[in-house]
């Protein structure tokens, strides 16, 4: 049983903030810029976290046992996706933490958010997008859940040797890139210096993250009914559940279950979310070197419905849009600039066919591969985000003046 003196000490610690004492006990070690093999980089980053918490953790362990850590699934910082590589990173970090006497990684469940002491987040990101197999940075952070402050952060540079960057099934299938303010907040938190607050927008929505994680796991396992139930449960909390991961999940699960009406309604909500946030990216896949949609109906079959919903929502909202085409990193700059513009014009024509008013409210442009997110140039599911079309909301007055 905890003594009265010990209880008062721990209460005082909570009042004054564990973070301040942790900062005094261990300063953040400088990040090494040396490129390491993947397993060595993971070890360096994980051990860096533990070095920063070692003194305080030793004291806490003697008094109250292991500190629980919940792990929000790790992602690629550039795309916001979970990939085979980020899954491997997560597994390796978890395995290394399991060897620590003072840390216990507990399942990422809503109940454990109320009981665990720390939240672990982690990202991988390519240092230069135009280097397909260039080095990648690993960022890990521990956030104290009670205070919302990062108590340890560590980084390492890994060589991209033998890593598989294929997105997990859910992320391969999503029609709209999932990187919104919540995901951006996760990425910022993973790179936040010790003693600083984690991203508030991300933490405010953390309560539904375990539901999203379970629903996404169910989708990846092709248990679409369970996935749909999970995403709907997350969406039920309208204050925090309106996220691209949730809206994409409801659309995908409904489509897989043959719920056509529900899927169309869900895609309409994705479009409305994009318009409200002034930017919507959609993964329209084209046949190589052409403006024709991907020939496989399994992939391009829903595209007419997507275009119909985009046209209906944008016309109804009376917005003006730049339609921006993008290509993957294959071929010359000039060729891809031309191709991306042609694809943007094709999308514009299809939208105008659905709603003629958009003829004066849209303007096509092409960025080629200059704004790649992945940059691998593999022309497969790995770099599907690079072959997207974006709809950026712009001021109608400015657009009309430019004509």
pLDDT digits (tens, 9 = 90+) for 47-65: 999 888 775 554 444 445 5
Domain extent, residue 36, equals: 19-190
Q: Which tens digits make up the pLDDT trace of 255-268? A: 999 999 999 999 99
Same domain, 55 and 186: yes
Tokens of 173: 């299938």
> Which own/partner pairs from 335-341 qualify as long-range (CB within 8 Å, at least 24 positions apart)?
336/366, 336/368, 336/369, 337/366, 337/367, 337/368, 338/366, 339/289, 339/291, 339/366, 339/368, 340/366, 340/367, 340/368, 341/365, 341/366
- According to the model, what pLDDT value does residue 55 have? 54
Give the pTM. 0.88
- Comparing CA positions, the residue from 76, 53, 25 lying closest to residue 150 is 53
- According to the model, what pLDDT value does residue 73 have? 98
Q: Which tens digits make up the pLDDT trace of 231-240? A: 999 999 877 8
* Mean pLDDT of the 143-155 span: 96
- Indicate which CATH number applies to the domain containing 350: 3.30.1330.60
Q: At what angle do helices 18-25 and 4-16 cross, to 10 degrees?
A: 80
Domain end, chosen from 190, 205, 229, is at 190
How many domains are contained in the chain? 2
Domain end, chosen from 190, 221, 252, is at 190
Same domain, 186 and 299: no
Contact 179, 82 (CB under 8 A): no
169: pLDDT strictly greater than 50: yes
More confident residue, 378 or 303: 303
Q: Which tens digits make up the pLDDT trace of 62-85? A: 445 577 999 999 999 999 999 999
The H or E element that residue 79 is part of is none
Q: Which tens digits make up the pLDDT trace of 314-369? A: 999 999 999 999 988 888 999 999 999 999 999 999 999 999 999 999 999 999 98
> What is the pLDDT of the chain when averaged over all its residues?
87
DSSP 236: T
* Mean pLDDT of the 72-101 span: 95
Tokens of 66: 């292991």
* Mean pLDDT of the 130-159 span: 93
Spatial separation of the C-alpha atoms in residues 364 and 42, rounded to whole Å: 43
Q: How far is CA 230 from the centre of its chain?
A: 18
User: How many helices (H) and strands (E) are present in the chain, helices listed first?
Assistant: 16, 11
Please provide residue 221's backbone torsions phi and psi, each rounded to the nearest 5 degrees. -90, 5
Tell me, yes or no, whether 57 lies in a domain: yes
Spatial separation of the C-alpha atoms in residues 193 and 152, rounded to whole Å: 7
Domain end, chosen from 190, 224, 251, is at 190
More confident residue, 67 or 169: 169
């Amino acid at each position: 049983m905890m003594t009265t003196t010990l209880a008062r000490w721990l209460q005082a610690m909570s009042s004054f903030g564990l973070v301040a004492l942790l900062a005094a006990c261990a300063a953040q070690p400088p990040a090494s810029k040396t490129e390491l093999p993947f397993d060595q980089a993971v070890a360096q980053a994980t051990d860096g976290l533990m070095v920063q918490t070692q003194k305080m953790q030793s004291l806490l362990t003697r008094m109250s046992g292991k500190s629980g850590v919940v792990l929000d699934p790790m992602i690629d910082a550039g795309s916001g996706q979970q990939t085979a590589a980020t899954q491997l990173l997560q597994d390796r970090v978890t395995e290394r933490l399991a060897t620590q006497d003072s840390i216990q990684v507990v399942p990422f469940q809503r109940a454990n958010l109320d009981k665990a002491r720390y939240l672990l987040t982690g990202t991988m990101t390519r240092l230069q997008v135009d280097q397909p197999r260039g080095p990648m940075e690993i960022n890990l952070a521990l956030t104290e859940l009670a205070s919302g402050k990062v108590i340890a952060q560590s980084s390492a540079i890994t060589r991209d040797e033998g890593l598989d960057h294929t997105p997990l099934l859910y992320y391969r299938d999503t029609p709209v890139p999932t990187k919104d303010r919540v995901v951006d907040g996760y990425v910022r938190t993973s790179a936040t210096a010790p003693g600083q607050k984690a991203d508030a927008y991300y933490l405010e929505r953390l309560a539904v993250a375990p539901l999203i994680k379970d629903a996404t796991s169910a989708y990846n396992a092709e248990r679409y009914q369970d996935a749909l139930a999970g995403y709907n449960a997350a969406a039920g909390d309208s204050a925090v559940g309106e996220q691209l991961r949730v809206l994409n999940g409801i659309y995908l699960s409904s489509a897989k279950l043959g719920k056509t009406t529900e899927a169309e309604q869900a895609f309409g909500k994705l479009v409305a979310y994009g318009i409200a946030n002034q930017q919507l990216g959609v993964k329209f896949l084209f046949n190589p070197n052409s403006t024709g949609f991907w020939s496989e109906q399994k992939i391009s079959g829903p595209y007419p419905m997507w275009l119909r919903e985009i046209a209906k929502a944008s016309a109804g909202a009376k917005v003006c849009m730049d339609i921006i085409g993008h290509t993957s990193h294959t071929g010359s700059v000039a060729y891809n600039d031309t191709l991306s513009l042609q694809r943007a014009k094709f999308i514009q024509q299809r939208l105008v066919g659905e709603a003629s008013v958009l003829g004066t409210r849209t303007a096509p442009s092409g960025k080629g591969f200059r704004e790649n997110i992945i940059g691998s140039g593999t022309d497969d599911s790995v770099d599907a985000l690079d072959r997207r079309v974006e709809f950026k909301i712009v001021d109608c007055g400015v657009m009309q003046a430019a004509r």
